Amino acid sequence: MKNITQMQELKAELQKVKDTECDLRYENQQLQINLQHHVSETDNLMKKIEQKETEYEELLLKLENGKKEVMTFKLYFFIFKLFSYHCEIKI
């Protein structure tokens, strides 16, 4: 009788261990899925960052070119004023 009770207890314990293993496998699977999702999301964000960096560099280049154009315009304007002043003196 004692052996039967012990066997039943062992079966119950074994079933608990199997249930726990099943729960842990499921949880592990869910964690892997979540990890894959986050890795994919991170990759997408990295691509967006790279695109924004490229856009930023292009804007900086445009800004530098714009500054050069403004400086060139200012130089021409200064030369024009200087020439105009020079012409006024001769008259």
**Single pTM value for the model:** 0.57
Q: What is the pLDDT of residue 89?
A: 61
Task: Quote the percentage of the chain above a pLDDT of 90.
Answer: 58
For residue 37, give Cα distances in angstroms to 1, 43, 46, 48: 54, 10, 14, 17
pLDDT digits (tens, 9 = 90+) for 32-72: 999 999 999 999 999 999 999 999 999 888 888 888 888 88
CA distance 36 to 28: 12
Rounded to 5, what percent of the chain is helix, strand, coil? Answer: 100, 0, 0
